[in-house]
Each structure stands twice: as C-alpha cells, then as structure tokens.
C-alpha cells in the first residue's frame, strides 16, 4: 500500500525559509524510474507544480520558483525534503507531495497535504 | 496564470453528459500524454484519467478522456451529484517541468 504524508510548520514568517518533509511508504525511491514531486495549491486557486526528484537524484524545478527551491531525498528514511527560501504571504498554500514515474508520467498517489500560512 | 487552459466552470443536470476542455501547446499536450485529476472539496487530488484516455482501477467508466493535437477533453456521462468537484488537467512539458490547467469547477444542478 502506497502512502505519502507531508509534514512541516503550519506557520512561517515572511522572509523565513520553509522546510517540508514528505515521508512515504509502499515504494522505494531507489527503484529505477521512481520520482516524487511537490505541488502546491493556494486557497481557492489552482494546482502549481514546484519540484521533482527522481531515483537517480536528478532534480527539476518550476521555472518561476527555481531560485528559491531545493529538493533532496533520503532514500534510507523514505523521505523527500523541499526547502523554499524567502517566504512571502503569496506562498500561503496547501503543499502536497505526490509519486510519479518516468515510465508512466502521472501522479498516481498523493499525500493529504499540509497547509502552510505565511504571516507575521 | 496556468500553462494549460481550462474553462473555470462547467455545469450539468443529473444524467447529462458534460465535457471539460484543456488546451496546451506543442511542448506539452502536443508531445506528451495528458492526465486528469478530480479534487473533491477539502481533499487531495485523485488521479482520474491517465495517458490521455486510461482509467485507473476503481474509476467509473462514466469518465473518459481524449486528446487531439494540443488539446484534450474530459467527458463525464450520466452525471451524478457526487461528481461535483474541481477537475484539473496536467502534462509533462518538454522544457522539463510539469504543467497544470487552471482547474474547472463542475456544478451538478
């Protein structure tokens, strides 16, 4: 059974750095082709893809946010970590992690999401 | 501003057939497969259609997808009240990013 769960602070102040952790089970990020992405959704707005890391440690970032994002993985802990620097109130959103695969090209399993509010 | 273009809203009465469009470009829909996600209120998105027209196990055959050129469509036949949700299309882009549509809010009248 595949599960993903996001964790991190519910509230961050402007200019701070956000660190989110995706802890997953039911698959291994060392399996060829496996990937985990981060996707966010501001309240009442659309989904926005942020970053992806694959089994081979290749990393891909949103064009508009890549200067602020870092994605990493700890295969032994089944975790993927996303850091976003210089947080702003417009970054208030529910942040999801989701599994995908280079062979399939779809997000088949999603975490339940974690709401991050940016406010002083 | 989402890369893929969807109508912001759609509606239908129970039993009707509704379609939702998704327009992209040659670098995303034109050269890669399209996926559709259903997001019920207060929940995470759920994969509804993958590889343009394939349904994951458990998704009713009332849901179908198609793709032509740089556009894709999601069709829901025999509309039911529980289909009221937000629907998103997505595709991989050749610039090495994932792109989503702006979402369509489906209302069952």
Instruction: Characterize the bridge pairing of strands A59-61 and A114-118.
Output: unpaired
Going along chain B, which residue ranges are E strands?
A: 9-12, 18-23, 34-39, 46-49, 63-68, 71-76, 85-93, 97-100, 104-108
How far apart CA A80 and CA A37 sit, in angstroms, is: 9
Do B88 and B37 meet the contact criterion of CB atoms below 8 Å apart?
yes
How far apart CA A67 and CA A96 sit, in angstroms, is: 20
Chain B residues within an 8 Å CB radius of A106: 33, 35, 47, 50-51, 90
**For B1-38, what is each residue's pLDDT tens digit?**
889 999 999 999 999 999 999 999 999 999 999 999 99
Do A35 and A54 meet the contact criterion of CB atoms below 8 Å apart?
yes
The gap from C-alpha A112 to its chain's centroid, in whole angstroms, comes to 12
**For B47-99, what is each residue's pLDDT tens digit?**
999 999 999 999 999 999 999 999 999 999 999 999 999 999 999 999 999 99
CB-nearest partner of B2 from A37, A46, A108 = A46
Instruction: Characterize the bridge pairing of strands B104-108 and B85-93.
Output: antiparallel
**CB–CB contact B56 A108 (8 Å):** yes
* pLDDT of the residue at A7: 98
Residue A20 above 90 pLDDT?
Answer: yes
Give how far A110 is from chain B: nearest CA, Å: 7
* pLDDT of the residue at A115: 98
Which residue shows structure tokens 């975490």? Answer: A111
* pLDDT of the residue at A103: 83
* pLDDT of the residue at B1: 84
* Mean pLDDT of the region A106-120: 97
How far apart CA B49 and CA B59 sit, in angstroms, is: 8
């Amino acid at each position: 059974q595949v599960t993903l769960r996001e964790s991190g602070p519910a509230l961050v102040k402007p200019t701070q750095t956000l660190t989110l952790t995706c802890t997953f089970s039911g698959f291994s990020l060392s399996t060829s082709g496996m990937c985990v992405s981060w996707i966010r959704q501001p309240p009442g707005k659309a989904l926005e893809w942020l970053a992806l890391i694959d089994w081979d440690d290749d990393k891909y970032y949103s064009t508009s946010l890549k200067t602020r994002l870092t994605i990493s993985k700890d295969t032994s802990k089944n975790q993927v970590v996303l850091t976003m620097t210089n947080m702003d109130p417009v970054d208030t959103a529910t942040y999801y992690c989701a599994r995908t695969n280079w062979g399939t090209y779809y997000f088949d399993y999603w975490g339940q999401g974690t709401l991050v509010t940016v406010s002083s | 501003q989402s890369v893929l273009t969807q109508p912001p809203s759609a509606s239908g009465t129970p039993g009707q057939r509704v379609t939702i469009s998704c327009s992209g470009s040659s670098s995303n829909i034109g050269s890669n497969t399209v996926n559709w996600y259903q997001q019920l209120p207060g929940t995470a998105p759920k994969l509804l259609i993958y590889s343009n027209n394939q349904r994951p196990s458990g998704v009713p055959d009332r849901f179908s997808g198609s793709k032509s050129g740089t556009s894709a469509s999601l069709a829901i036949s025999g509309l039911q009240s529980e289909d009221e949700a937000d629907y998103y299309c997505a595709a991989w882009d050749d610039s090495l990013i994932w792109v989503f549509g702006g979402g369509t809010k489906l209302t069952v009248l």
